[in-house]
Amino acid sequence: MDHLMAQQVKRARDYGIHIGVLPTGPLNAITDVPGVKVGQVTLIQGDNIRTGVTAILPHGDNLFQQKLPAAIYIGNGFGKLIGSTQVEELGLIESPVVLTNTLNVATAAEALVEYSLSQPGNEAIGSVNVVAGETNDGFLNDIRGRHVKKEHVLEAIRKASGGRVEEGNVGAGTGTVCFGYKGGIGTASRKLPASLGGYTVGVLVQSNFGGVLQVDGVPVGEELGQYSFKQELDKSSDGSCMMVVITDAPLDARNLKRLAKRAMLGLGKTGGIASNGSGDYVISISTAYRIPHESAQPLDQVPLLRNDNMSPLFLAAIEATEEAIINSLFTARTMQGYKGHQIQALPIERVLQIIKQYRK
């Protein structure tokens, strides 16, 4: 996507759709959380290659040496999330998060290992837990060709930056399908008012799943006549959604897992159903403090937010996930790919008419 085209892409808010009640961050993106960087490589080649890589760096320093608290919640486990068990066990993440397609998740992990071993200060390490996830883009992409190479993953990590995040048919969302329309990468954020802590919650999604689409509570999928199980033996409900939730609120792994669960509520608000064949994973991370790989001190002493103060963050995660998914649909464009398969973009003008009718 060139710069001019990127400038023309409109998100849900640009059409006057304001999901939820909490204010967004300045960019309404995961990069509103200070220090978070996103890098993407998009592979659109010939008639059959429609795939890519999205890399999320929770901070720009050496993540192995300066780990962050993290948790993973599995909404439905039909997927491949490399590195999940150690995050679950230790409550820490020590590599960037890389998203790609199903058959390239091992390539992504290999690249992450190479990246981690090559970082200054890591010369002596003999183990690293990398985190790589996926959705299946095989309808539009020649997935068996495994076109994502190690250099593409390393390029995505190297290109990662703060600021605006490209959405739609980019990176790991290049070939994805959502609610029968073109899906992709989407992002959003919420910034709590000072009275509720002032914390930011940012979400990035790779949308590739089915159900009955709702946009800000309006039954758009029903009105458009496109939804899962409209026809017998319909498989369009299957797919996956990867959700990355990052906050600067000081949370430990236990409360990060509680936060991650709320992202699934956001997915539900869009009409997603976490179907049998869907890999719906939430990776949640706090950037509020770091845990050094080695320390002379036997105790980690960090201030943690009390349980009683979690509820505003729960709402923030729900709203940001819902809006990130809707943004992935609004910014995606019609795409033709593998074997001539074509997926139409969400018909925005018709959607806006439906919303207007329901708002009367």
- pLDDT by residue, tens only, the chain of 360 residues: 444 444 578 999 999 999 999 999 999 999 999 999 999 999 999 999 999 999 999 999 999 999 999 999 999 999 999 999 999 999 999 999 999 999 999 999 999 999 999 999 999 999 999 999 999 999 999 999 999 999 999 999 999 999 999 999 999 999 999 999 999 999 999 999 999 999 999 999 999 999 999 999 999 999 999 999 987 656 667 899 999 999 999 999 999 999 999 999 999 999 999 999 999 999 999 999 999 999 999 999 999 999 999 999 999 999 999 999 999 999 999 999 999 999 999 999 999 999 999 998
Dist. CA 189–CA 204, nearest whole Å:
9
Q: Is 280 a catalytic residue?
A: yes
Quick check: is 297 in a domain? no
Among the options 207, 237, 275, 278, which is catalytic?
A: 278
Quick check: is 18 in a domain? no
Quick check: is 5 in a domain? no
Quick check: is 326 in a domain? yes
CATH code of the domain containing 315: 3.60.70.12
Q: Is 47 a catalytic residue?
A: no
Show Cβ contacts of residue 295 under 8 Å, excluding neighbours closer than 6 positions. Answer: none
Q: How many domains does the chain fold into?
A: 1
Contact by Cβ (8 Å): 140, 335: yes
Q: Is 61 a catalytic residue?
A: no
For residue 182, give Cα distances in angstroms to 113, 132, 248, 332, 337. 32, 23, 32, 6, 12
Quick check: is 63 in a domain? yes
Quick check: is 85 in a domain? yes
DSSP characters for 79-90? Answer: S--BTHHHHHHH
Contact by Cβ (8 Å): 263, 318: yes
Dist. CA 156–CA 272, nearest whole Å:
29
Quick check: is 300 in a domain? no
Instruction: Give the CA count within 13 Å in the CB-facing half-sphere of 28.
Output: 23
> For residue 120, what are the domain limits?
26-291+305-359
Distance of CA 79 to the CA centre of its chain: 14
Quick check: is 282 in a domain? yes
Among the options 280, 284, 286, 328, which is catalytic?
A: 280
Among the options 95, 237, 240, 286, which is catalytic?
A: 240
